Amino acid sequence: MTVERLVQEYKIERTDIFIAAEGDDNSAGEERAGSDTEAGAPTPPDRDDAALNGGIIVSVDIEDEAMANNVRASFDEFGAQDIAG
């Protein structure tokens, strides 16, 4: 959700947003979200095709300090942990 907020509301180019697994192994994150949950109607079946085995790191390449504050606020809004910058 944070990435979509940054792209749609703050017009940050997707090429300036980087997403990687926190460790050496691939990761699908630590909790189910979006289309992997029962939030929609009709309710999709639970998925078990990707292990929830670690966090992800999202970073944004920006130079404007005012935009940096918006980026940090967006990460905070959607529950990011260990926000640095």
Over residues 40-57, the mean pLDDT reads 66
Give one word for 48, left, alpha or beta, with left for phi > 0 and alpha for psi -120 to 50. alpha
pTM tops 0.75: no
In this predicted structure, the answer to whether residue 41 has a pLDDT above a threshold of 90 is no
Q: Which residue has the higher pLDDT, 62 or 43?
A: 62
β pairing state of 56-60 and 17-21: antiparallel
* Residue 56 confidence (pLDDT): 83
User: What residues form DSSP beta bridges with 54?
Assistant: 29
pLDDT band at 22 (very low <50, low <70, confident <90, very high): confident
pLDDT band at 68 (very low <50, low <70, confident <90, very high): very high
Asked if 39 and 64 count as a contact pair (C-beta separation under 8 A), the reply is no
